[in-house]
């Protein structure tokens, strides 16, 4: 899907909500509280359960719940993060989508990245390659050039899936840990300031995009992940209040 197709199909809030409803409830709307299927629409965006009288919308219990951003903005940001080969920074998202503040754009991007992370990883098989690299920090002479950089370990199955991990070090014990957990037998060019705290999130995004590069339903599948994801509060990401 490209931006033109995106705007034709999801150019307003009503179209976005209808799409979320079809994805979340392909067999008809059910109450998220009691799972009853006797549900009726009371307003354009609201439903009411005939069994428990719970009132809800399609965004309840999802990452979209209580968002202050239009769903169109969410859809556009999701498409840009999915389709940008080398990713897209919060600054780029802010400029491209007309978001007022960098903090809002940053928070939006990290919530989408959190949904991209795979919860369960199937062990890799066949021929597997493994390497490490160092990200961020300034070199302090040749001998200590990596002393203040963050370690990223990459594991890729030949012709298959790619995985990145933010590791503490490259000692043999650390490498063995990732091998045991995952085997069965472009950061600085796009994100100019990547903190150690959130490095794994950027790694997850790159892996998700690479592993789905041939997926013709990537946008739909990512929206499904967003529907299934609980909202992450700003303070959970930063350790401080959003106010």
Decide if 202 is inside a domain: yes
93: in domain:
no
Q: Is the pLDDT reported for residue 180 higher than 70?
A: no
Q: How far apart are CA 204 and CA 181, in angstroms?
A: 16
Domains: count for the chain: 1
Return the number of other C-beta atoms located less than 10 Å from residue 159's C-beta.
7
In-domain check, residue 204: yes
Model confidence over 69-108: pLDDT tens digits? 999 999 999 999 988 877 788 999 999 999 999 999 999 9
Say if pTM beats, i.e. exceeds, 0.75: no
> Per-residue b/e over 208-242, b at no fewer than 16 CB within 10 Å?
bbebeeeeeebbeebbebbbebeeeebeebbeeee
Query: Across 23-27, 62-66, 204-208, which has the greatest mean pLDDT?
Result: 23-27
Distance CA 89, CA 99 (A): 13
Residues 6+ apart with CB under 8 A from 61: 32, 230
Does residue 63 lie within any of the structural domains? no
Q: Which domain holds residue 163?
A: 128-216
**Would 12 be classed as within a structural domain?**
no
In this structure, of 131-140, 162-171, 177-186, the range with the lowest mean pLDDT score is: 177-186
The answer to whether residue 7 sits within a structural domain is no
pLDDT in tens, 203-231: 777 778 777 888 899 999 999 999 998 77
- Is the Cβ–Cβ distance between 157 and 124 less than 8 Å? yes
How far, in Å, CA of 77 to CA of 6, rounded?
11
Residue 144 lies in a domain: yes
CA dist 65 → 13, 16, 18, 72, 228 (Å): 14, 14, 15, 14, 12
More confident residue, 182 or 77: 77
Task: Please say if the pLDDT value at position 189 is more than 50.
Answer: no
For residues 92 and 108, the answer to whether their CB atoms sit within 8 Å is no
Asked, for residue 171, whether it belongs to a domain, the answer is yes
What backbone torsions phi and psi does residue 18 show, to the nearest 5 degrees? -60, -40
Tokens of 171: 């000692």
């Amino acid at each position: 899907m490209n931006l033109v197709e995106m705007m034709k199909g999801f150019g307003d809030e009503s179209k976005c909500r209808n799409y979320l409803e079809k994805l979340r409830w392909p067999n008809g709307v059910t109450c998220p509280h009691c799972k009853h299927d006797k549900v009726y629409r009371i307003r354009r965006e609201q439903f009411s359960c005939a069994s428990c009288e719970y009132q809800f919308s399609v965004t309840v219990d999802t990452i979209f719940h209580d968002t202050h951003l239009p769903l169109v903005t969410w859809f556009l940001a999701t498409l840009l993060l999915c389709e940008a080969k080398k990713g897209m920074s919060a600054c780029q998202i802010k400029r491209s989508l007309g978001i007022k503040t960098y903090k809002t754009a940053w928070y939006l991007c990290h919530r989408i990245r959190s949904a991209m992370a795979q919860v369960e990883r199937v062990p890799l098989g066949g021929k597997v390659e493994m390497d490490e690299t160092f990200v961020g920090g300034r070199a302090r002479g040749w001998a200590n050039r990596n002393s203040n950089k963050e370690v990223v370990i990459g594991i890729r199955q030949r012709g298959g899936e790619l995985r990145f991990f933010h590791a503490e070090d490259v000692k043999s014990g650390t490498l063995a840990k990732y091998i045991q957990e995952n085997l069965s037998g472009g950061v600085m060019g796009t994100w100019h300031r990547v903190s150690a705290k959130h490095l794994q999130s950027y790694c997850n995004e790159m892996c998700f995009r690479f592993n789905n590069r041939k997926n013709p339903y990537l946008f739909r599948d990512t929206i499904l992940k967003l529907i299934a994801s609980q909202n992450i509060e700003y303070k959970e990401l930063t350790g401080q209040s959003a106010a």
